[in-house]
């Protein structure tokens, strides 16, 4: 079956521009996660949705970052007034579970470069 898909795969933004990154989770997966991966580092948690409810947004680095999942399926991560330190790969992951620590299934990521 289809895995997690993300679009665009690559995005170049000028500093100060707003960007929107899309994630299509695996069909039927209730849990959805966003991670940020800086060059040479491991992914870092940003936020978590269970269906349409955003249950944890403790990892969002500033109020310029906003995520939504209005219908409990597709999710969008929006970054306003992008800055150079926002350059990273943004990974989306989904899982069919609502509790417990189980594996998450990752998409290919969106590489954001802010110039």
The H or E element spanning position 60 is none
38 CB-side CA count, 13 A:
6
Report the candidate in 79, 85, 5, 82 with the shortest Cα–Cα distance to residue 39.
85
In the complex with another protein, the residue whose CB is nearer, 79 or 90, is 90
Cβ at position 27, least distance to another protein in Å: 17
**Minimum Å distance from CB 10 to another protein?**
10
Nearer to another protein, 41 or 83 (CB): 41
Q: How far is the CB of 113 from another protein (least distance, A)?
A: 14
For the sheet containing 75-79, what is the strand order?
A: 5-7, 19-24, 75-79, 65-68
Which residues of this protein are in contact with another protein, per CB under 8 A?
Answer: 4, 31, 33, 35, 40-45, 48, 55-56, 59, 91, 93, 99-109
């Amino acid at each position: 079956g289809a895995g997690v898909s993300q679009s665009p795969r690559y995005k170049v933004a000028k500093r100060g521009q707003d960007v929107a990154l899309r994630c299509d989770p695996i069909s039927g997966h209730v849990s959805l996660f966003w991670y940020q991966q800086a060059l040479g580092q491991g992914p870092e948690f940003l936020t978590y949705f269970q269906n349409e409810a955003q249950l944890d947004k403790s990892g969002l680095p500033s109020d310029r970052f906003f995520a939504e999942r209005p219908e409990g399926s597709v999710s969008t991560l929006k970054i306003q007034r992008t800055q150079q330190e926002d350059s990273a790969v943004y990974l989306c992951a989904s899982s069919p579970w609502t509790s417990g620590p189980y594996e998450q299934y990752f998409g290919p990521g969106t590489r954001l470069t802010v110039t």
